[in-house]
Structure 1
Amino acid sequence: MIKVRLVGLFFLLITSIGLSQELTYKTVENISYYPDTSGLSDYQKAQCRLDIYYPEGKKDVPVIVWFHGGGLTGGGKEIPQALKEKGYCIVGVGYRLSPKVKAATCIEDATAAVAWTFKNIADFNGDPDSIFVSGHSAGGYLALMTVMDKSRLDKYDIDANDVAGLVPFSGHTITHFTIRSERGIPGEQPIIDEFAPLYFVRNDVPPTLLITGDRELEMLGRYEENAYFYRMMKVAGQENITQYEMQGYGHNMTHPAFPLLINFVQEHN
């Protein structure tokens, strides 16, 4: 397990610059990722949309699908500034939120967004063979669930193992606390069931990078559950997995972690 310090992060920032300084970029907003909108509720129509930021004049670029955080109860789709102008196609996904829907519905929306990306991203110069799934906090949890539970993408005739890489930032690997809260289970009581990425540990998962904040500064147990996920993946025979602990940073560690995501995409593209 590797612990990253600030010097290493500056190095990654420097090496990630210069991929596409001559490219121009375009943003397309509010695309519905449920193709047939006729049977959708007004809330689903409003929330289940994505934005795409992509370079013009260059095809088959790597794609990063980004899920926002917010505990499955808040937040909105976003294209992180730190991922712009790197030569990539960035997909910022919105999804329905608890308590308007059960939190498990968020996973269904996230899966539909990933499936839409596989089937449509070539129209926006993205490479469907180079799709990386990422997100922060609740978004990291959604990234994990869409890939770890293969049955979800199977419904769209997509093999989750065709994802190029999985990079959750401070994501739950146990059942999400909002799902537990809906069942009356306190946050201090861990559950591992079909809504836990840990439930689906296997040895053929795409290359995975787990990033959390400092174990002493993170949200309750977040580092430790990622460390356990890392260990169980290793025990299962998955060798292509790494965990980084961002020493000195708490749960909101996205800014120093983005260079790690960029470097990961470069290495696995």
Structure 2
Amino acid sequence: MKAEGDLKMRRWNLWASLAVAIFASCISTFAQEEKKKEPPAVTSYNVGYRILDFKYKDESSQEKTLTTAVWYPTDAEEKDYEYGGGYAKGKVALDAPVSKKGVPYPLVLYSHGYSGSGVAAVFLTEYLARSGFVVVAPDHNDDLSAVRIRGGADANLPKIWENALKIARSEKSFDHKKFEYRLKEIRFACDKILELSKEENSPFSGMIDEKRIAIAGHSLGSYTALGVTGMREKDERFKAAVYFSGGLFWDEKEFSKIKIPAMFMYGETETYGRGILGLSDLSVKTIGAYLWCDGPRFCLEVKHGTHMTFCERVFKENTPEIAKEQVRLIKEYTTAFLLKYLNNEPKADDVLSRKDKMLTRYYYDFGIRYEVETKKNIAYYEGEDADAVKHKLDIYIPKGAKSFKVVMFVHGGAWCMGDKDQFLLPYDYVGKAFAQRGIGTVVINYRLTPQVVHPGHIKDVARAFAWIYKNIEKEGGNKERLFVCGHSAGGHLVALLGTNEKYLKEQELDFKALAGVIPISGVFKIESNLLGAFGNDKENWKDASPIDNVKENLPPFLLLYASSDIPGLSSMAKSFADALKAKKNEFRLLEIADKTHITVITSIGKKGDRTTEEIVQFIQQR
């Protein structure tokens, strides 16, 4: 009986802790009293703070109060302040006049999570005001609340957790009508603050620039923000949006409705235990949403982050050192995003175009697409044994880009088939897909079996690489940022180029010339004379096997394979990754979901394609 009781207790503890970590919003906790060192803001103000009460009628004509917190720039002296009856601590000038230095200011609406409050993320809302934004955050009229702007809250925390879990589990049958009140409330808060900005005698008179409005939200607040920026309705006033941790109650393809600049942010550990609770993988959902958005887009996975990292509980969930870094990151990237898309601030790109040490994953796309200039059938080798067809390459140039990064692509075909200009599906789609994203692309041919056997194929690949290295600067490319990518047999060849240095040395180059290697569904171990491509000499097989040539100090690798790949390729990729890890090399191994050995490559350049995005991110972040 005791064992059974212990098991029940463990299940209860797991349920409770995961429910809190995933969806409970901002349970009362004091923020650390010591003020953290702020990351630099473009403009620095003191923070003014007011609490407003707006009256409105709900769907049943019942009068409701929308208590709303407002942070704004001021020149008045700040004093210590306790939010929500002690929920959080900050420093503000209460009811102070608005600073006239930068009026009118951009506006950010903030929507909190289920059972939370407008003061859920004081570390962020205060910082935005300090950086020259007005922030308006209402207390949504949820059925239960753990904290309120004016203090006071429901003590029934188990009920809050239970309701939050029900909301999360209803993902596939989500009742959107049940939460329409939230969309109405956030729009209403926006209406009222704009009215006050227009009133001559209002303390907020002239405070807001109506053309520069954004919205942010956490958890169910993220759902609220999504709901008014295209997923349920489109409020044209919102020019950019930040979505923290979930609220993604739609199929990923539906996120093509999001046309404005969008930033998604979630915690690294948020996916832990979700399967036990019957919840979908938040990282998969968030990255999927990012992939399908139409405008400029950003997706951040915060190191050690939980669901509560994006509100004041961050100071209780990790060590002070980790919490400090998480808060710094959230403030820096959120502010940079808003400065770029509301203020057109050029300095913001310095933050948004780099992967911070506190990000375990980072995807970014400024939405820039280049026209592509193509140069076809350039000879990369002209020796006595040159082949008039197979020693040719095509260059795809992003017109107008300066010193652009370059990727060489090597096609597959079992070392005995394939061509850059092959019938039905020539590989120009690969060249154009990456060049449109600002990455110069060179698609090569190489001699095939039975014309050659190993090392004939890899010698051609090395020749092509050397030609690109020596000539790409003439086309505007940066030879110091030259990557290689290949599919299937091409994946094998680029992996071999990145592990067996002798083929580069034959071209008077070495691994320093390789910025990165991207095998897609590649072969990493040769154990037979595959289709006559490797002969019968076992020493030749070893020379041709990337896994047998792994050593320290190799170029970084991105290893991609399909969820329904050719049998054996996924396990081979994992073994190759283990070999790279054993020698302390940099690599990332990733399975591309819902793809086969063929579609993992033929989908490149298509909307929402994960393979394309992973390759682009690997290249542009190096």
Pick the TM interval, shorter chain: 0.7 to 0.9
Corresponding residue of 1:26: 373
Distance in 2 (alpha carbons) for counterparts of 1:184 and 1:105: 12
CA shift, 1:100, in A, is 2.2
- Label 1:9 to 1:32 Cα distance change in 2 as closer, same or farther (>3 A): farther
1:138 aligns to 2:489 (yes or no): yes
Corresponding residue of 1:188: none
CA shift, 1:159, in A, is 1.3
- Label 1:266 to 1:136 Cα distance change in 2 as closer, same or farther (>3 A): same
1:8 aligns to 2:298 (yes or no): no
3-state SS, counterpart of residue 373 of structure 2: strand
- Label 1:204 to 1:228 Cα distance change in 2 as closer, same or farther (>3 A): same
The answer as to whether partners of 2:374 and 2:397 remain within 8 angstroms in 1 is yes
**Which aligned pairs between 1:1-269 and structure 2 lie closer than 5 A?**
5=284, 8-9=287-288, 11-12=290-291, 14=293, 15=297, 17-18=365-366, 20-21=368-369, 23-34=370-381, 37=382, 39-41=384-386, 44-77=387-420, 78-79=427-428, 80=430, 81-175=432-526, 179-182=529-532, 193-214=542-563, 217-238=564-585, 240-252=586-598, 253-254=600-601, 255=603, 256=609, 257-268=611-622
Distance in 1 (alpha carbons) for counterparts of 2:285 and 2:484: 25
Distance in 2 (alpha carbons) for counterparts of 1:175 and 1:29: 33
Residues 60-112 of structure 1, C-alpha deviation per residue, up to 9 Å, x if partnerless? 10001101111111111233143231111100001111122225311111111
The answer as to whether partners of 2:446 and 2:457 remain within 8 angstroms in 1 is yes
Residues 28-70 of structure 1, C-alpha deviation per residue, up to 9 Å, x if partnerless? 0111111xx25125xx122110000112333310001101111
- Label 1:7 to 1:46 Cα distance change in 2 as closer, same or farther (>3 A): same
Normalised TM-score (structure 2): 0.38
CA shift, 1:140, in A, is 0.8
RMSD of aligned alpha carbons: 2.4
Distance in 2 (alpha carbons) for counterparts of 1:69 and 1:82: 18
3-state SS, counterpart of residue 202 of structure 1: coil
The answer as to whether partners of 2:454 and 2:535 remain within 8 angstroms in 1 is no
- Aligned-pair identity (%): 26
Higher relative contact order (CA 8 A, sep 6+): 1
3-state SS, counterpart of residue 544 of structure 2: coil
Residues 137-156 of structure 1, C-alpha deviation per residue, up to 9 Å, x if partnerless? 11111111112110110111
3-state SS, counterpart of residue 26 of structure 1: strand
Distance in 2 (alpha carbons) for counterparts of 1:131 and 1:94: 18
The answer as to whether partners of 1:12 and 1:263 remain within 8 angstroms in 2 is no
State the aligned residue count.
Answer: 252
- Label 1:114 to 1:6 Cα distance change in 2 as closer, same or farther (>3 A): farther
- Label 1:123 to 1:9 Cα distance change in 2 as closer, same or farther (>3 A): farther
Task: Give the unaligned 5+ runs of structure 1.
Answer: 186-190
97-106 vs 49-58, which moves further:
97-106
